[in-house]
């Protein structure tokens, strides 16, 4: 693995990850649903958004600290839930959680993580937020009790996974579990293969029943069997009554659904189209945020992901009305490119880029971005 002196942004991390990973693993991270038009719309929503700078503002002391009714963070961004990170490195979940804890930013562990929530909490020194899929059995109580006992402060109900997205790259590559390795991997990706052989077999300790799946199960089949339970508003109300800590719902794109969730006592909405990995015809979440703000949803109740690549993108999302921004692929590419040092490097780059952008547009505080720059 090269020194990270050449890793200056998302494109650099992505290219190094492409060189470091087998094609089927890189495509699993990089790809989306269908023809990947949804992914393209996600990116274009940020590329097309501009910010008009204000001048004459004292921006010598820029603060990224943010406070919400549900908690505080050192910066307005965090790590989105990403499953199957063990394909990158056996310790990936621990590495991501530890870097986030050191930086005091949120880390949401995926239900499809390859490390237990208890082990992640022990390794990082704090319990993560937990992404929850409704089990296909409909029995959610045991897992939620376990998450609460692990000390997780926030439960994130994922609502946009009633069926697995049709991800053509994974289908064409025949991605299945356990991942088959061979001579080609030894020749092209020796470090990756070495790490994989040293690690434990890939498992899903946070998905009860996943151990019963047969060898050769595709990731799509895994998702369908373990997370295919439909989650109704009645289910959300029951979970809200049973869960004493912060409750968020993820995958909400329509303002009517956001309003209904908040009316049920949900604390915050994660506006997301799953990074373009579920429904290829989905609109860009950044645009959905604007509609929710116009309907009166306040920034402290709005998080957004999908398509975020840089500190400038973070400021654009905050300007649109989000209170917190989540990144997924970027952190996986950083991890694949440079291990835990890459994750730390990306966090520092995002902090620096966000501060620089705030200075250049003329705002020194997160809460002042919309007021200073206008709509």
Q: What is the pLDDT of residues 269-309, one digit of tens each?
A: 999 999 999 999 999 999 999 999 999 999 999 999 999 99
Q: Which of 166-180, 221-235, 360-374 has the lowest mean pLDDT?
A: 221-235
287 known ligand binder: no
- What integer pLDDT is reported at residue 2 of this predicted model? 54
- What integer pLDDT is reported at residue 212 of this predicted model? 52
94 known ligand binder: no
Q: Do 74 and 65 contact (CB within 8 A), yes or no?
A: yes
Q: What is the pTM of this model?
A: 0.94
- How far is the C-alpha of 185 from the C-alpha of 340, rounded, in Å? 22
- What integer pLDDT is reported at residue 56 of this predicted model? 94
pLDDT exceeds 80 at position 117: yes
Per-residue model confidence as pLDDT tens digits over 153-211? 999 999 998 888 999 999 999 888 888 887 787 788 999 999 999 998 888 999 876 65
What is the rounded radius of gyration, in angstroms, for the C-alpha atoms of the chain?
Answer: 20
Catalytic (active site) residue 8: no
Q: List the CATH number of the domain containing 269.
A: 3.20.20.70
307 known ligand binder: yes
The mean pLDDT value for 117-129 works out to 98
The mean pLDDT value for 58-77 works out to 95
pLDDT band at 225 (very low <50, low <70, confident <90, very high): low
- Burial of 217 (C-beta count, 10 Å sphere; 0-12/13-18/19+): middle
The mean pLDDT value for 39-63 works out to 96
306 known ligand binder: yes
153 known ligand binder: no
Q: What is the DSSP letter of 107?
A: B
Range of the domain at 162: 4-373
244 known ligand binder: no
The two tokens of residue 89 are 């490195």
Q: What percent of the chain has pLDDT over 70?
A: 92
pLDDT band at 5 (very low <50, low <70, confident <90, very high): confident
Q: Do 314 and 68 contact (CB within 8 A), yes or no?
A: no
pLDDT band at 8 (very low <50, low <70, confident <90, very high): very high
pLDDT band at 48 (very low <50, low <70, confident <90, very high): very high
308 known ligand binder: yes
The strand pair at 71-73 and 246-252 is best described as unpaired
- What integer pLDDT is reported at residue 223 of this predicted model? 66
Q: Do 225 and 110 contact (CB within 8 A), yes or no?
A: no
pLDDT exceeds 80 at position 222: no
Which of 274, 287, 319, 370 is labelled catalytic?
A: 274
46 known ligand binder: no
Distances, alpha carbon 360 to alpha carbons 53, 58, 60, 128, in Å = 7, 11, 11, 34
pLDDT band at 230 (very low <50, low <70, confident <90, very high): confident
Tally of structural domains, the chain: 1
- What integer pLDDT is reported at residue 201 of this predicted model? 86
pLDDT exceeds 80 at position 369: yes
- How far is the C-alpha of 26 from the C-alpha of 92, rounded, in Å? 15
- What integer pLDDT is reported at residue 139 of this predicted model? 84
- What integer pLDDT is reported at residue 345 of this predicted model? 98
How does the average pLDDT of the chain come out, rounded? 92
User: What's the residue count for the chain?
Assistant: 375
């Amino acid at each position: 693995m090269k020194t990270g002196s050449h890793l200056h942004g998302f494109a650099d991390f992505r290219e190094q990850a492409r060189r470091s990973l087998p094609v089927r693993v890189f495509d699993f991270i990089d790809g989306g649903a269908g023809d990947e038009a949804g992914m393209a719309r996600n990116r274009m929503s940020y590329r097309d958004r501009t910010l008009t700078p204000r001048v004459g503002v004292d921006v010598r002391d820029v603060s990224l600290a943010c406070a919400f009714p549900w908690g505080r963070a050192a910066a307005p961004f965090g790590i989105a839930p990403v499953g199957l990170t063990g394909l990158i490195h056996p310790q990936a979940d621990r590495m991501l959680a530890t870097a986030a804890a050191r930086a005091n930013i949120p880390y949401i562990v995926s239900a499809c993580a390859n490390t237990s929530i208890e082990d992640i909490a022990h390794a990082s020194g704090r319990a993560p937020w937990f992404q929850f899929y409704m089990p296909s059995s409909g029995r959610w109580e045991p897992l939620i009790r376990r998450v609460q006992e692990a000390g997780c402060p926030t439960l994130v109900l994922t609502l946009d996974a009633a069926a697995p997205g049709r991800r053509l790259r994974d289908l064409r590559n025949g991605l299945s579990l356990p991942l088959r390795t061979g001579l080609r991997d030894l020749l092209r990706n020796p470090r990756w293969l070495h790490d994989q052989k040293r690690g434990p077999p890939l498992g899903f300790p946070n998905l009860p029943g996943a151990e019963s799946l047969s060898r050769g199960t595709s990731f799509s089949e895994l998702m369908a069997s373990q997370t295919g339970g439909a989650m109704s508003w009645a289910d959300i109300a029951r979970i809200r009554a049973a869960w004493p800590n912060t409750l968020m719902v993820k995958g909400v794109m329509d303002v009517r659904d956001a309003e209904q969730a908040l009316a049920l006592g949900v604390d915050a909405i994660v506006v997301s189209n799953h990074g373009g990995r579920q429904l290829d015809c989905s609109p860009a979440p950044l645009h959905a945020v604007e509609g929710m703000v116009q309907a009166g949803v306040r920034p402290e109740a709005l998080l957004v992901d999908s398509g975020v690549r840089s500190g400038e993108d973070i400021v654009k999302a905050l300007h649109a009305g989000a209170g917190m921004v989540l990144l997924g692929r970027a952190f996986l590419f950083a991890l694949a490119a440079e291990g835990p040092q890459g994750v730390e490097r990306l966090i520092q780059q995002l902090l620096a880029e966000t501060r620089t952008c705030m200075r250049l547009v003329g705002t020194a505080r997160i809460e002042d971005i919309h007021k200073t720059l206008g709509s």
